[in-house]
Each structure stands twice: as structure tokens, then as C-alpha cells.
Amino acid sequence: MDGMPEGTVNNILKQETLKWVFVGGKGGVGKTTCSSILSILLSQVRQSVLIISTDPAHNLSDAFQQRFTKIPTLVYGFNNLYAMEVDPKVENDEPLEAEGMESFISDLTNAIPGIDEAMSFAEMLKLVQTMDYSVIVFDTAPTGHTLRLLQFPSTLEKGLSKMMALKNRFGGLLTQATRLFGLGDEFNEDALLGKLEGMKDVIEQVNQQFKDPDLTTFVCVCIPEFLSLYETERLVQELTKFEIDAHNIIINQVLYEDEAIESKLIKARMKMQQKYLDQFYTLYDDFHITSLPLLPEEVCGVDALKQFSAKFLKPHKAIFSQGSVDEAEKRVALIRVQLECAISELDKLKKGKQKAR
């Protein structure tokens, strides 16, 4: 359609500066499938790609049919695509043995909920940044969680100022305590503060990167249903609030009239979907909207992912473009089907009313 951004993910593949690609949306809509396919497509145009799942219910392993851990592992059949699964709630690798430190940390954790999670996310980002991948794709956990992690710089900021306040208030008390327990200098609060300060630098750096549309984008995955439309709108608003760029929406599980459809159920579902598809296209006319068909089977394993990836590169014409006569005819046919559905539904309603009288 004229003036409308292309309905593919080509813009992401073409954006050579892109470093972070977040893929998010409601549970079960196809985030893991879409992020896996995006990482495969990116591996064809970029030097090296890492896909990270931050969902505690890891499913990259299911999609690729290969076991992954928190260490980046080469995906079978690729020489530049790596995958890792991290738990945002992992315990710290270097536990702070000092009791004084522990209580200090737990005070802090109680004072600022989410700081432990934010810190392990920061650790992970720090690690990933040193690894020098050209682009990093995140398969994120369902909506709320992701946004919380993207907020982590401000969470940590709060944590730091709280610590500073504590430090100022108690002066050298903590240092004395650590000495009392016979702990070395590396356990004093200055060392800890230093560590947090270092973390803050990483976080500020990463935060700046997340807010830079040249480096970062967020891909919203959804399905053509009311709840998903609603969640997408909320997600887009939140992203705007956090100043995180988003200009791609993937609408998954769309029913197409590839064959003559007899089933009343499917016809009714198609009609329902069409209503929400129209709303998506109207609401997000400045987004690249990629619509993907609902397949008869799951998308499991590299071969299936690769096969499905073709749909990410070519817009589905049947419903939305107004190009050729052929396409126009298809669209008319679809509308006719929808009309038929509407009429039969209306008839049913009328009959129902008559019966009721």
C-alpha cells in the first residue's frame, strides 16, 4: 500500500548499526519462534549473532532442538550463530562471604526490590558486551518482566544512592565490622561500592545504547485478537515512555484463505481476525507489520525455522495489498466470505429473537 512501511523485517536486516534486538509480547504468541528466525536471518547478513533467552521457562532449546546453557553455544548448522539461556534470577557467582556485607546487601535488596535481578542482568550484559557479537537478539519473557528489566538502570541508580546514604550515615562502621571479622580489604564497603560504581558505568552505557534507535529496537509479537492488540498498545506506550525504539510488529497465527474453506468455525475465526488485523494496520500505520500464517504444525528445529523465515521477508499479499487484479479478486472473495458469515450470523440472531418471543 502506498506510504505504508513494507510488511517485512527487511528494515531490521538492513540496519547495519543495530546491536540489540528485543523481541517481546504476550505469552505463547510466538516470541521464541520469531526471535529464533530473526537471529537466523541476521546471521545471513551480519558477522556474528547471539540469541539470548531471558525467560526463566527457556524454550530456545525447544525451537532449535538443541540444549543451551548460560554459556554461548554455536547453533548446529551455523558458524556465526550462538545461543544462550540465562535466568535473570541467578545467584551471584561470587558470593559475598562477609556477614556484614551480606546483611548490607540484604538491607539493600529489601530497600530496593528488583536490584538483585537488575544486577545479574547487568552482569550478563557486561559479559555479553565483552564478547563482541555484531548483534544480540533477546527472546524475552512475557511483557511485564521485560519492561522491568529494561527499567533496571533507574533501579540501580536508586540502589546506589541508597548505599551512599547508608555509607554516609554509618561512616566507617562497616569497615570496622569487616576488620573485626578478620576479613581482608577486598571485603570492605569501599570495594563493594567500587564494584557497584563499575556496574553503574556499564548500566549507563547500556542504557544509552538501549535508547539509541541506531543501536536498539524492540519487535512486538502478537496475534490478531483483542487481548493481544490491547497488550501491544500497552507495550508500545511503555516503550515510548522508556524511549526505546519500536517500529516492527509481527502478527502471528493469521488464518489465510489459501483453499476454499468450508468450516464455519474457521470462517468465523477469520472474520474475527480480520477485524483485529484492520485495527492493527490502522493503529500502527507507521510500523512495519509482518503477518505470519498459522501453520498446521509447530515450528520446531532449524529446518522448520528456516522454512518459515521466508514469510518474514515477503509480505503476505492476499489480504492487504491492492496490487494486481488477481489480488483484488482474492480480497473481494475474502470479503464475500466475511459477508456470508455476517449474514448467517445475523440470520441466526434474528431466528433466536423470534424464538425468544
Ligand X SMILES: Nc1ncnc2c1ncn2[C@@H]1O[C@H](COP(=O)(O)OP(=O)(O)OP(=O)(O)O)[C@@H](O)[C@H]1O
Please count the other Cβ atoms lying within 10 Å of the Cβ belonging to residue 60.
Answer: 22
55 DSSP assignment: -
Say whether 216 counts as a known binding-site residue.
Answer: no
| Contact assessment for residue 3 and residue 200, using Cβ atoms and an 8 Å cutoff | no
Kindly calculate the radius of gyration of the chain based on its CA atoms and give it in whole angstroms.
25
Q: Note whether 227 binds ligand X by CB under 6 A.
A: no
Rounded to whole angstroms, the Cα distance separating 50 from 137 reads: 6
158 DSSP assignment: H
Question: Exactly one of 29, 118, 196, 229 binds ligand X (CB under 6 A); which one?
Answer: 29
Q: Hey, what amino acid is at 301?
A: G
Please count the other Cβ atoms lying within 10 Å of the Cβ belonging to residue 160.
Answer: 19
| Cell numbers for 338 | 466475511
Q: Note whether 58 binds ligand X by CB under 6 A.
A: no
Closest distance to ligand X from the beta carbon of 342 (Å): 26
Residue among 32 and 39 whose Cβ is closer to Mg ion: 32
Q: Strands 135-139 and 20-24: what pairing?
A: parallel
Closest distance to ligand X from the beta carbon of 335 (Å): 24
Question: Exactly one of 7, 9, 21, 30 binds ligand X (CB under 6 A); which one?
Answer: 30
Q: Note whether 178 binds Mg ion by CB under 5 A.
A: no
Element (H, E) at 35: helix 31-45
What does the angle CA 218 – CA 221 – CA 224 come to, to the nearest 5 degrees? Answer: 145
Residue among 59 and 73 whose Cβ is closer to Mg ion: 59
Residue among 55 and 245 whose Cβ is closer to Mg ion: 55
Say whether 32 counts as a known binding-site residue.
Answer: yes
Stretch that binds ligand X, among 7-15, 21-29, 207-215, 324-332 (CB under 6 A): 21-29
Q: Calculate the CA 156 to chain-centre distance.
A: 22
Enumerate residues 49-88 that contact Mg ion by CB under 5 A: 59
Per-residue binder mask for ligand X (CB under 6 A), 233-262, x = binder: -------------------xx---------
Q: Note whether 144 binds ligand X by CB under 6 A.
A: no
- Which stretches of 53-180 are DSSP H helices? 60-64, 99-111, 115-130, 143-150, 152-170, 173-180
CA nearest to 115, candidates 70, 149, 146: 149
Catalytic residues: 55
253 binds, among ligand X, Mg ion, none (CB under 5 to 8 A by kind): ligand X
Cell match 525467560: residue? 55
Say whether 27 counts as a known binding-site residue.
Answer: yes
Enumerate residues 285-324 that contact ligand X by CB under 6 A: 292, 294-295, 298-300
Question: Exactly one of 22, 30, 32, 36 binds Mg ion (CB under 5 A); which one?
Answer: 32
Rounded to whole angstroms, the Cα distance separating 324 from 330 reads: 10
Question: Exactly one of 142, 212, 234, 321 binds ligand X (CB under 6 A); which one?
Answer: 142
Stretch that binds ligand X, among 29-37, 232-240, 328-336, 347-355 (CB under 6 A): 29-37
Q: Note whether 188 binds Mg ion by CB under 5 A.
A: no
Residue among 22 and 187 whose Cβ is closer to ligand X: 22
Q: Note whether 202 binds ligand X by CB under 6 A.
A: no
| Cell numbers for 234 | 500497552
Cα dihedral across residues 167, 172, 174, 179: positive or negative: positive
Residue numbers of the site for Mg ion (CB under 5 A)?
31-32, 59
Residue ranges of the binding site for ATP: 26-33, 225, 252
Residue numbers of the site for ligand X (CB under 6 A)?
27-33, 55, 59, 142, 252-253, 292, 294-295, 298-300
